[in-house]
């Protein structure tokens, strides 16, 4: 084959790599210069839902802190939504009819670039550490979700009795699909209010606690909900329908926790029976992960017209009041997945991993999904024992695709492989075996939620914390499972002893292949005493005395074996 200069090869593959992402992807996925200088402290969102023409309109008052002395501010609002105007709430007193009052100043210097608006604020009004407010008015018909929650957008549905049923699912796609915001996962508002106006015959539910309900003169009602904790943009979600409510008080690790359940009126009795699992979930996860992270905002399950989502303090529930996962049953095929309600367990686990601990870039979403998926195993272990849990997580392996790496490309709002779920949980399970101390492992999970409480993180912070607190360098394991599609393979050969040796001594030769450079994960094998003991393979061939005729590796390690 004719040799091609290395520089040409590099340029070709670099252009292929970069060509798949656009300027719009970078604007959406990067904490660029028009975002990094300001920190959102609050969203105060007012939205009216017009059922007849499937449109929405309203305004969002954004409070923010100035971090750097600059003035170009990026606001995201996805087409076909329209940004109408921007008002800057500067302390300017205006005299009208003999009365002085504060009047926001309209900003006219606004440039649109796809789904991003660049707003020029007067530099003189912005000083480092200032607290400022802008009000953004908007309207339009948001993108409709085709297959929620995976293909997101607004959901205009009818319930079984033909009543309007409305909500939104927008993880990945972004909250800017329906309201103007700083649509980057690294910056969460410290608090938020959502004021929902809809027809009076419907009930509007959202995150946090209900502050008020106002009956308007035009046949609509406005429900005001508020959260007092940091919250992801995509978690701020309205639910509108013929809801009824029941509740209970759970006596948890931080005291009394209000647990509320909002369901369609005709499903009330089903819900009372099925949602008895919610306090069981809370008990198990407070044991494994520490206190529920949002006691001040309470916990809710809200019936939704899609399978489910982890909306903070208002979990979307669409599992049709049954155990397992709707239409898929037991994802592990072990039988244990039919013992509990998948949506209650999995989506609620995100309150700890995803909502309490949030990744700055969705490329690192394994932190959300890997731990939430493994939470299913931990829930199973808490109520049905360790063997049941092992069978469950091992059963998930058949769903691993190993097509692309778990961690996606950074800065372009792109997730990695769907393997972040099943491969992510099996990696965590494997690391648990390496740590070989269940109490230490549990303390690591609790420590993660305590150390990174209400924070946004990068994957390295999580990886390094687990390595440091476990006392083991796990970096090569993370690299192997998160950054490659290779499954480490234990290559081995058994050399039997001499026929005249009554002890039957022999040798086992072994090494790691199909692995990252320097991979040295220990693994347990069955030895002569019918117990599993560690061996310590590297990429170089090692040898130990071995009396068994066959090699049996502990199934809890997610690896392959290959006999030479």
Q: Which among 474, 461, 373 has a CA at the least distance from the CA of 431?
A: 474
Q: How confident is the model at residue 102 (pLDDT cuts 50, 70, 90)?
A: low
Distance from the Cα of residue 232 to its chain's centroid: 9
pLDDT at site 92: 52
Q: Helix and strand tally (H, E) in the chain?
A: 11, 30
Burial pattern 180-192, b for ≥16 Cβ within 10 A else e, equals bbbbbbbbbbbbb
The rounded distance, in Å, linking the Cα atoms of 429 and 424 is 9
The rounded distance, in Å, linking the Cα atoms of 431 and 523 is 10
Q: Is the dihedral of CA 44, 211, 206, 310 positive or negative?
A: positive
66: CB partners within 8 A, 6+ apart: 37, 38, 126, 127, 128, 129, 130, 131, 132
Distance from the Cα of residue 55 to its chain's centroid: 28
pLDDT over 50 at 489, yes or no: yes
pLDDT at site 124: 86
Taking residues 375-386, what's their average pLDDT?
98
Residues 12-62: tens digit of each pLDDT: 333 334 448 999 999 999 999 999 999 999 999 999 999 999 999 999 999
pLDDT at site 89: 78
Q: Give phi and psi for 334, each to the nearest 5.
A: -95, -15
The rounded distance, in Å, linking the Cα atoms of 114 and 24 is 7
Residues 407-439: tens digit of each pLDDT: 999 999 999 999 999 999 999 999 999 999 999
pLDDT at site 17: 42
Look at residue 101 and give its three-state secondary structure: strand
Helix-strand-coil split of the chain, %, nearest 5: 25, 35, 40
- Cross-strand pairs, 246: 261
- Virtual torsion, Cα 272, 273, 274, 278, nearest 10 deg: 70
Angle value at C-alpha 190, between 124 and 32, nearest 5 degrees: 55
- pLDDT: which is higher, 499 or 418: 418
pLDDT at site 14: 37
Residues 123-132: tens digit of each pLDDT: 888 999 999 9
Residues 244-288: tens digit of each pLDDT: 999 999 999 999 999 999 999 999 999 999 999 999 999 999 999
The rounded distance, in Å, linking the Cα atoms of 119 and 96 is 28
Look at residue 226 and give its three-state secondary structure: strand
Q: How confident is the model at residue 101 (pLDDT cuts 50, 70, 90)?
A: low
Q: Are strands 116-120 and 72-76 parallel, antiparallel or unpaired?
A: antiparallel
Taking residues 164-168, what's their average pLDDT?
98
Look at residue 533 and give its three-state secondary structure: strand
Residues 201-244: tens digit of each pLDDT: 999 999 999 999 999 999 999 999 999 999 999 999 999 999 99
pLDDT at site 53: 96
pLDDT at site 5: 40
Residues 304-363: tens digit of each pLDDT: 999 999 999 999 999 999 999 999 999 999 999 999 999 999 999 999 999 999 999 999
Return mean pLDDT, the chain.
Answer: 93
pLDDT over 90 at 494, yes or no: yes
pTM score, whole prediction:
0.93
332: CB partners within 8 A, 6+ apart: 391, 392, 393, 394, 395, 396
DSSP symbol at 386: H
pLDDT at site 95: 53
Domains and CATH numbers, the chain: 33-241 (2.60.40.1730), 268-485 (1.10.390.10), 489-563 (no CATH)
- Conformation bin of residue 335: beta by default, left when phi > 0, alpha when psi is -120 to 50: left
Instruction: Using CB atoms within 10 Å of the CB of residue 20, give its burial: 0 to 12 exposed, 13 to 18 middle, 19+ buried.
Output: exposed
pLDDT at site 496: 81
Taking residues 370-381, what's their average pLDDT?
98
Residues 451-471: tens digit of each pLDDT: 999 999 999 999 999 999 999
The rounded distance, in Å, linking the Cα atoms of 460 and 366 is 12
- Conformation bin of residue 549: beta by default, left when phi > 0, alpha when psi is -120 to 50: alpha
């Amino acid at each position: 084959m004719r040799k091609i200069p290395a520089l040409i090869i590099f340029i070709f593959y670099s252009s292929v790599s970069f060509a798949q992402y656009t300027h719009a992807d970078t604007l959406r996925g990067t904490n660029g210069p028009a975002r990094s200088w300001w920190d959102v402290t609050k969203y105060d969102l007012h939205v009216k839902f017009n059922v007849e023409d499937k449109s929405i309109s309203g305004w969002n008052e954004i409070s923010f802190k100035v971090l750097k002395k600059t003035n170009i501010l990026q606001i995201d609002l996805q087409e076909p939504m329209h940004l109408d105007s921007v008002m800057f709430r500067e302390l300017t007193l205006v005299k009208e009819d003999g009365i002085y009052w504060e009047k926001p100043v309209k900003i006219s210097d606004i440039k649109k670039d796809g789904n991003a608006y660049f707003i020029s604020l007067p530099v003189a009004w912005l000083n480092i550490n200032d607290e400022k407010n802008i009000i953004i008015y908007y309207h339009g018909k948001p993108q409709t979700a085709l297959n929620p929650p995976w293909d997101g957008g607004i959901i205009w549905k009818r319930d079984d009795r033909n009543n309007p049923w409305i909500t939104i699912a927008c993880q990945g796609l972004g909250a800017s699909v329906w309201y103007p915001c700083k649509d980057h996962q690294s910056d969460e508002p410290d608090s938020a209010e959502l004021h929902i106006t809809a027809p009076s015959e419907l009930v509007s539910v959202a995150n946090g606690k209900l502050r008020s309900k106002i009956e308007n003169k035009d046949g609509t009602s406005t429900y005001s909900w508020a959260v007092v904790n940091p919250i992801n943009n995509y978690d701020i979600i309205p639910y509108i329908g013929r809801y009824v409510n029941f509740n209970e008080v759970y006596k948890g690790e931080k005291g009394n926790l209000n647990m509320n359940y909002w369901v369609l009126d005709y499903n009330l009795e089903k819900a009372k029976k099925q949602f008895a699992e919610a306090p069981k979930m809370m008990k198990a996860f407070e044991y494994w992960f520490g206190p529920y992270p949002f006691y001040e905002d309470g916990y809710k399950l809200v019936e939704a017209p899609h399978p489910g989502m982890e909306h903070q303090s208002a979990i979307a529930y669409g599992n049709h009041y049954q155990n397992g996962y709707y239409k898929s049953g037991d994802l592990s095929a072990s039988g244990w997945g039919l013992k509990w309600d998948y949506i209650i367990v999995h989506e609620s686990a995100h309150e700890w991993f995803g909502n309490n601990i949030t990744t700055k870039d969705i490329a690192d979403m394994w932190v959300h999904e890997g731990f939430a998926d493994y939470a299913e195993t931990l829930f199973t272990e808490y109520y049905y024992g360790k063997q049941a849990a092992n069978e469950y997580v091992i059963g998930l392996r058949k769903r691993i695709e190993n097509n692309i790496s778990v961690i996606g490309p950074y800065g372009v709002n792109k997730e990695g492989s769907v393997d972040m779920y099943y491969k992510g949980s099996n990696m965590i399970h494997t690391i648990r075996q390496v740590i070989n101390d269940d109490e230490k492992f549990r303390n690591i999970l609790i420590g993660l939620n305590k150390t990174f409480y209400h924070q946004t993180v990068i994957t390295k912070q999580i990886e390094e914390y687990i390595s440091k607190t476990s006392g083991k360098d796990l970096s090569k394991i993370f690299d192997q499972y998160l950054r490659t599609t290779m499954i480490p393979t234990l290559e081995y050969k058994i050399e039997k002893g001499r026929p005249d040796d009554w002890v039957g001594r022999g040798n086992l030769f072994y090494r790691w292949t199909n692995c990252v450079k320097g991979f040295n994960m220990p693994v347990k094998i069955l030895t002569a005493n019918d117990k599993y003991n560690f061996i310590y393979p590297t990429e170089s061939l090692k040898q130990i005395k071995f009396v068994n005729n066959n090699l049996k590796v502990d199934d809890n390690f997610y690896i392959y074996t290959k006999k030479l």
